[in-house]
Amino acid sequence: MKTKKFLLSGILGIALAGFVLTGCNKDNPTGTTSSPDYTASEDDNNASTATTDSKNIANAAAQSNTSRYHFDHSIEAIYSINCNAKFDSSATTDSIIVSFGAAPYTTPVNCNDGRWRQGQIIIYWPKVNGQTLKQAYFNTGSVLTMTFKNYAVGAISSNMIGIAGSRSDTNKGLNNLNEENWNFHASLTLTYSSGQTATWTSNRNNTLVQIGGVYYYEITGNALGVSRTGVDYSLAISNSSPLYFVGQIWTNGTWGCMHFEAGTITMNTPGYTISIDYGSTPGNCPSTATLTVTNTATTASNTYTIDLL
């Protein structure tokens, strides 16, 4: 078993964004003559990042000027003066349109978290008589639907990833541990600056848990997709080793850990199983994770260290 160094670059700026193999790190797993296509991991994690990031943006808009979960800043103060949220209500639906920049929203703007964004995120949910728009947003049983219009995000304005498709969240209320939790389904298409596209479908459960005074999303579920190089893949996040990502990503103008802090992802690609282990305990924003690549035919494997940026 080998241990080598990988660099995990932040295409979207948070969470896993892909593997940059440098120098001798391109070796194949022991006993094999071919190497796995890491693009599937990169695409999955870009999609996963995009859904978490856009949900944080939606929450910031819905919670503007309220103290729920201690988010006490307006979305403009959190993200950028070039970001604004417009609330609307019809006979049956409440909605928020979050816009980056000025119409037609096709010019990237720099946000306070270091990412560039353009376009619009549209969130809508059923209107509830007798409740305010914000109350209905957090109502148990409410289904929040999110779509995107000309939306793209990236670490630099010249290399952004377009996000299209939809995501729906169902507020499940409190679980048996008195924790709020949501089921979500997402079906996204990612378009890279190269023109390549990747598709991603995921079903997950996000539970808001408090550990060491910090709110985390505890994430379990599964996903499947086709990478931008045409590789079919599937993955699972088990109940025994869920992912943890900071739910309160900003505090008093300071941004929290920008990647997963604990948990394991297990991915299946043609001929290989890829496991990414972030550790067992959230709270220390680790600088590295462990990647294990196993040939499914020979069970031969290599282990690598990933730098988390």
Contacts of 176 (CB under 8 A, 6+ apart): none
Q: What is the pTM of this model?
A: 0.82
Each residue's pLDDT tens digit, 170-225:
988 777 767 778 898 999 999 999 999 999 999 999 888 888 888 888 999 999 99
Note the pLDDT of residue 35.
Answer: 63
Kindly report the number of other CB atoms within 10 A of residue 56's CB atom.
22
- Give the E-state strand segments of 114-160 in sequence order: 116-126, 143-154
For residues 117-142, give the mean pLDDT. Answer: 84
pLDDT exceeds 60 at position 162: yes
Cα 298 to the center of its chain, rounded Å:
33
Closest to 147 (Cα-Cα) out of 114, 176, 174, 125: 125
Cα 302 to the center of its chain, rounded Å:
27
Lowest mean per-residue pLDDT among 81-90, 96-105, 113-122: 81-90
Measured between alpha carbons, how far is 88 from 68 in angstroms, rounded to an integer? 21
Measured between alpha carbons, how far is 108 from 59 in angstroms, rounded to an integer? 21
Closest to 276 (Cα-Cα) out of 12, 13, 15, 2: 15
Note the pLDDT of residue 247.
Answer: 67
Which residue's entry shows tokens 């005074």? 213
Closest to 18 (Cα-Cα) out of 30, 10, 26: 10
Each residue's pLDDT tens digit, 255-276:
667 788 899 999 999 999 999 9
pLDDT exceeds 80 at position 308: no
Are residues 186 and 201 in contact, defined by beta-carbon separation less than 8 angstroms?
yes
Mean pLDDT in the chain?
79
- The gap between the terminal CA atoms of the chain, to the nearest Å, is 25
Are residues 156 and 116 in contact, defined by beta-carbon separation less than 8 angstroms?
yes
Kindly report the number of other CB atoms within 10 A of residue 137's CB atom.
25
- Burial environment of residue 63 by CB neighbours within 10 A (0 to 12, 13 to 18, 19 or more): buried
DSSP 231-277: -EEEEEE-TTS-EEEESS-EETTEE---S--B-EEEEEETTEEEEEE
Measured between alpha carbons, how far is 227 from 41 in angstroms, rounded to an integer? 8
pLDDT exceeds 70 at position 3: no
Measured between alpha carbons, how far is 107 from 100 in angstroms, rounded to an integer? 8
Measured between alpha carbons, how far is 163 from 11 in angstroms, rounded to an integer? 13
pLDDT exceeds 90 at position 166: yes
Name beta bridge partners: 116. 110, 154
Q: How far is CA 78 from CA 15, 109, 171, in A?
A: 19, 14, 24
Note the pLDDT of residue 60.
Answer: 78
Measured between alpha carbons, how far is 172 from 175 in angstroms, rounded to an integer? 8
